[in-house]
Every structure is written in C-alpha cells, then in structure tokens.
Amino acid sequence: FPSHDMHPIRIDSTLTAIVRTNDPKLSILPVVSTNLGTNNWTNAFFITNTPTNQVGVPSGFARREFTYTNTNNSRAFLRLSISNAP
C-alpha cells in the first residue's frame, strides 16, 4: 500500500457563515490550529470567497466561505475569530 508520506492527501474544509459587512470596526478571521489545548491559532492558509448566491441574506450582511487546505495529513480545528475594534 502507498504511504501517505509519499503521496500527501489534500483535504479542503470550508466554513460558511453569514457575516456582517456594514461595520468597519468588525473583524472576522478564519483561524486554524492542530491542537485545541494551545493558543497556536493562525489565519494562514485560508482562501476567502463571497459566493454569488446571496439568496436569503439580509442587507448589511454577506454569505462568505472560508476554505482551508490541509496538505500535511494532520488534524485541523477551524473557527471564526470575531472581534470589534474600539
């Protein structure tokens, strides 16, 4: 059987959210970590997309897709980090 070390597996995971777009102080970042027990969260390796299908999304909001590509064959925990600047 082939080893995963010789043939890495590519796994795409997508978070889809309806986010507020009419508040410039609001920051919404997708973040990933390989361990829930640490504060080692990063927003690298994400692609953000705004789909053309915005049916049912209220004014001042948009449907967004945050896609993470995992090519190192390890577990990944995804979340959205939302903060409001003062």
pLDDT tens track, the chain, 86 positions: 445 555 566 778 999 999 999 999 999 999 998 888 778 888 888 999 999 999 999 999 999 999 998 877 678 889 999 999 88
Which pLDDT belongs to residue 43? Answer: 87
> What's the pLDDT at 1?
42
The Cα 36–Cα 34 span in angstroms is 7
64: number of Cβ within 10 Å: 19
Backbone φ, ψ for residue 52 (5° rounding): -70, -25
Beta bridge partners of residue 11, listed in sequence order: 70
pTM greater than 0.75 (yes/no): yes
For the chain, the first-to-last Cα distance in angstroms comes to 55
